[in-house]
Homo-oligomer: A and B are copies of this chain.
Amino acid sequence: MNRSHLDFLLSDWLDTEALTTRDRYAEHSAGTFAAVLDLAERLAQDKFAPCNRLVDVEEPTFDGERVHLPQATHDATRAYAESGLLAAGQDAEVGGMQLPYVVEMASNACFFEANVAVAGYALLSVGNANLLTAAGSASQRRAFTQGIWDGRFMGTMCLSEPQAGSGLADIVTRAEPDGADFDADPLGPRYRLRGNKMWISAGEHELSETIVHLVLAKIPGPDGRLPEGVKGISLFIVPKHLVDEQGALTGERNDVALAGLNHKMGYRGTVNTLLNFGEGRTPVRGAAGAIGYRVGAPGDGLRHMFLMMNEARINVGLGATMLGMAGYAASLDYARTRRQGRALEAAPADAGPVPIVSHPDVRRMLVAQKAYAEGAFALCLYAARLVDDRRTGTTEEAEAAGWLLELLTPIVKSWPSEWCLEGNNLAIQVHGGYGYTRDFPVEQLWRDNRLNMIHEGTHGIQALDLLRRKVRADGGRAVALWAERVDRTCAAVDDDPALGACAGSLREAVARLRSAADAAWEASGATEALANATPYMQAFGHTVIAWVLLDVARAATERLSAGGGDDPMLRGQLLNAHFFFRYELPRIDAWLAPVQRRDRTFIDLDERWL
């Protein structure tokens, strides 16, 4: 990460310092924000980066009793807990720093860049605790959440089942009231859960005193049948080891068992598990069935889960982004030192090989990586800033931020997952054969990054969310709000000699996105409207990034003319916009055309032709 780039985005572009005028952040200043980022950078470099390859090579193992992780994972997660960063965004009263979300995300970025897999343990736990903070009872927060903020506990999210991943309506984990007094437990209505949960990151380990599983399950009706659909899903806290009201371990092992580890292509430092709940392997309080405490009302499970899912999706996008950033940094470094080939023209006869950074095709691969990673990074921070506005802005700010976040979240999640993966692909290519080996970091980055188009809602799910709901809610209000912001950017650069031409292309792109969405929904049916949702999302994402890069270039131009001299970082922001508008934004035509004409290729085909 280029710290001067981050500082520029936070200060000049997002005016983060303005947040300190809000009550919640009144104790903070630009100085305290910087101190937190210094801490994050140092800790990430000292404890996370050095074991990034190690945790890839030394995959988690299970000996039938215990999961073994490298000692470095224990050390890094412990150091993170001790740093206080777990509760960076939380209230002072639970021991938090009360930092704005955008600063918390900037801190997360340091860890994602250094070691995305080990960072996962802490950041999943924070997501878990955020959910309980929002949806849990006071006693649940005291018993479970405080332990996470204090670094004693870790948490998981248990949604998928082997037969139900994207299709959560079909989960079959059952939760049945645990005895006649089930409703009288101070930790919340007590149930016994039975079922299997798949793809559970950090589902079993010995990094923490207990593991707070947040589990989606269905409460059977009087006839013993599970309710249909997603509205029948409820949310439960299922701790691996039970705790009392103060969050102290009771010494009871809950009936949760590891059924197996998933052996992943990348992201190996985060152990990923299949868990059996309530199969009776370790009966608890005299019976089989995992003890779980319901969070909120029955049937509200998915709604609660989505409280944290949206922020989890920003974190996925940011993780993908920082892998892209790491690949860019590695390949730029390689390109500057590796010598090979000659200039095509005008090379002195006796000149030796040149650093490959001087070859136009290598520059193409570097500039693309830079624009992808820096554009995605700016977008993630922008989304985080919207979270702050939604939480602590004026009523008007909060409302607008809420709409924009709804619209942009699928892009924040999907665009970096696709394009920073492509960036990692280019990083390998810059390295040639060396990039294909474990002697350089880029092949791992590419493998690690491949997960991001899958977890927390696949690419296809994001696309349906965007074109089915987000662009249409309340008559397209979110798109209208976003288009206003685009117009503001365009108006600000219309007369700029370098950027003015971009404004026209961007306005046209936004108009075409709106026209394509209208055309898609002109026909009556969702099937036809959504048959090309993914190319639509790709076009939308490219347009959003074009806008972000143009707006960042606008801010850079202002700084340059206000005495920024010839700061190469600022000039690099202009390069990003220049490249993206010339090479990338024109791609949207090919993506939008099938949406616009409601292409039925994928509807009409006969499966036997495949």
Contacts and interface: CB of A to CB of B under 8 A. Distances in A.
A593 B601 contact: no
B370 A610 contact: yes
A437 B568 CA distance: 42
Contact of A609 (B164, B447, B568): B568
A205 interface: no
Contacts of A340: 163-167, 170
A265 interface: yes
A428 interface: yes
Decide if the interface of chain A is mainly helix, strand, loop or mixed: helix
B436 A575 contact: no
**Residues of A in contact with B, size category:** 35 or more
A149 interface: no
Contact of A263 (B160, B439, B526, B575): B439
Interface string A436-452: 11110001001100110
Contact of A362 (B341, B453, B460): B460
A526 B608 contact: no
Given A459-B429, A583-B601, A572 B609 contact: yes
A129 interface: no
Contact of A578 (B453, B578, B601): B601
B609 A575 contact: yes
Q: Kindly report how many copies of this chain are found in the complex they form together.
A: 2
Interface stretch (A296-304, A506-514, A527-535): A527-535
A227 interface: no
Contact of A433 (B353, B455, B590): B455
B345 A568 contact: no
A453 B453 CA distance: 22
A249 interface: no
A344 interface: yes
A599 interface: yes
A96 to B, nearest CB: 33
Given A340-B167, A459-B429, A610-B332, A531 B360 contact: yes
Contacts of A491: none
Contact of A599 (B198, B534, B582, B607): B582
B429 A265 contact: no
Nearest to A590: B586
Contact of A432 (B454, B587, B606): B454
Interface string A143-178: 000000000000000001001111101100000000
Given A460-B362, A589-B590, A198 B433 contact: yes
Given A360-B531, A601-B578, A571 B263 contact: no
B357 A607 contact: yes
Contacts of A447: 265, 447
A463 interface: yes
A417 B223 CA distance: 57
A273 to B, nearest CB: 12
Interface in A198-235: 198-199
A264 interface: yes
A367 interface: yes
A222 to B, nearest CB: 20
Contact of A454 (B167, B263, B433, B455): B433
B454 A429 contact: yes
Contacts of A138: none
Contact of A606 (B266, B464, B568, B583): B568
A248 interface: no
A480 interface: no
A339 B163 CA distance: 8
Interface string A561-576: 0000000100110010
A139 interface: no
A165 B432 contact: yes
Contact of A160 (B167, B433, B525, B568): B433
B582 A601 contact: yes
Contacts of A446: 265, 450
A363 interface: yes
A29 interface: no
Contacts of A363: 602, 605, 610
A412 interface: no
Given A361-B463, A361-B534, A610 B578 contact: no
Given A590-B589, A609-B572, A602 B458 contact: no
A264 B436 contact: yes
A403 to B, nearest CB: 25
A16 to B, nearest CB: 25
A347 to B, nearest CB: 10
A450 to B, nearest CB: 7
Contact of A610 (B341, B530, B572, B606): B572
B450 A436 contact: yes
Contact of A367 (B198, B443, B530, B602): B602
A532 B463 CA distance: 32
Contacts of A341: 166-167
Nearest to A432: B165
Query: What 4 A-B pairs have minimum CB-CB distances, sorted nearest first?
Result: A360-B602, A568-B608, A586-B590, A265-B443
Given A572-B609, A587-B590, 6 more contacts: A262-B433, A344-B527, A429-B460, A575-B609, A582-B601, A584-B590
